[in-house]
Structure 1
Amino acid sequence: MATLPASALLQRDKKTYQIRITPPCGVVTADELRQLAEVADKYEVPLLKITSGQRIALIGLEEEEMANAAEEVPFRIGGHYIQACPGTDWCKMGQRDSTGFATTLNEKIGTLATAAKIKVGVSGCPISCAECHIRDIGFIGTKNGWTMVIGGNSASRPRIADTLAEKLSDEEALALLDRFLAHYNETAKKKQRVARYVEEHGIEAIREAMGV
């Protein structure tokens, strides 16, 4: 029997499970959707749900069916998610290439080990359709570069993210992300989400410790 994914969630009935698959930046192809539909038909998935983080949840399968289905879906399961808007590829408001940058982030940190799970928003303009200010880490595109924000949360203790740095090029934003994650992993409590971490330490102290 296939191994049940570590990220599988037991459902309300205490018998069936949910897994969430992660299309990179929420982007899917027609072929990938057909493959997903075939998996859903094969295992009689009762419910497919698009999540707020641009993932797709397969809900309501027995343990053995869920484990096998997880091996056949076209995207990775679990890990961090990177949410993105269409950016300059399609949106007339876009000022930065959010989908391209988010794709790079997905490859860079999608399965990276961190103190707690990380949710990332990447928006191509200050309207911030990728909800950057309520994500652990956010990148907001402006005509002068990326603004990086940290410490947002939209759960039972909502929090608006603080600005870590502004006017960043792609290379500078990626380098700053590396520095922040290294600092966070070294100093955060186990399973302490970024919002609670920023609350505890304060954005000014984090900036000073990182030399930002």
Structure 2
Amino acid sequence: MNNIVAEPIMVMPVERKDGTYALRLCLNQGQLTAGMMKTVMETMVKFNLTSLRATTGQRMNLEGIPKDKLGEVIESIGTAVEKAPPGVSVCTGAGICKYGVQESRSMGDKVLAAVKQNGPYPFKVKSGVSGCKISCGLSFVRDIGLVGTPKGWDVHFGGAATKNAGLGVQIGTKVSEEEALDLVGKALRFYKENGRKRERTSGMLRRLGADAVLEALK
């Protein structure tokens, strides 16, 4: 590891019930470089931290940080933010997975760019891109979800994996990449204009009704 240069990581502190803290590593598509891994390992050894946990959102939580050591650990690992930037859950896609029919990782970057471009929003936006209908990117239960088919992309809007879990509505079927991204932008702008403060897209969908949302997004 001596030839690997440590890289700083953006982190979000999260307070736990027992008074300790976790640092959420703000990763893109769950990917860690060798330099990031070196930073994490050196920090864990230095402060005797024993738990690094993968999250469902394809990020990592460095757990068990004492409150009085939080500032030092942040300084060791990178910089802190109050809120993690938007992320997107993706599968490995057609380039790697034998089931994949569409390439998901590059599409995930484009969806994430659309989310960032059209904000801010009434509340958080979670996205998922899956290269096939097995949906390892959790696309059916994301605010924005894309599912690859042999003939293009199915686009879903308003899904949720919260306590009021539910599938999103399908706003596009077997569309091209360009058409899918256009629908994503249109759905995000609709949410920005019609969602209430701290209301997820799923809550807006229930409040307005699926038919009204589908009609507005034609």
TM-score (norm 2): 0.83
In the superposition, relative to structure 1, how do residues 178 and 76 fare at CA in structure 2: closer, same or farther (>3 Å)?
farther
Range moving further from structure 2, 23-32 or 128-137: 23-32
Partner of 2:124: 117
d(CA) in 2 for partners of 1:48, 1:89: 28
| Contact 2:12–2:26, Cα closer than 8 Å, also in 1 | no
Residue 103 in structure 1 maps to residue 109 in structure 2:
yes
* Structure 1 spans left out of the alignment, 5+ residues: none
Q: CA RMSD in A?
A: 2.5
d(CA) in 2 for partners of 1:89, 1:190: 39
Q: Which of 208, 212, 216 is residue 205 of structure 1 equivalent to?
A: 212
What amino acid is the match of 1:35? T
Partner of 1:9: 14
Partner of 2:6: none
Partner of 1:88: 94
State which structure, 1 or 2, has the greater radius of gyration over its C-alpha atoms: 2
1:176, distance to aligned residue in structure 2 (A): 1.5
Range moving further from structure 2, 92-101 or 156-165: 156-165
Identical columns (%)? 29
* Structure 2 spans left out of the alignment, 5+ residues: 1-9
Q: Which of 190, 193, 196 is residue 203 of structure 2 equivalent to?
A: 196
Residue 165 of structure 2 aligns to a residue whose secondary structure is: coil
d(CA) in 2 for partners of 1:187, 1:71: 40
Flag as ranges the 4+ runs of structure 1 deviating above 6 A: none
Q: Which of 35, 41, 54 is residue 37 of structure 1 equivalent to?
A: 41
TM-score (norm 1): 0.85
Q: Which of 165, 168, 183 is residue 161 of structure 1 equivalent to?
A: 168
What amino acid is the match of 2:15? L
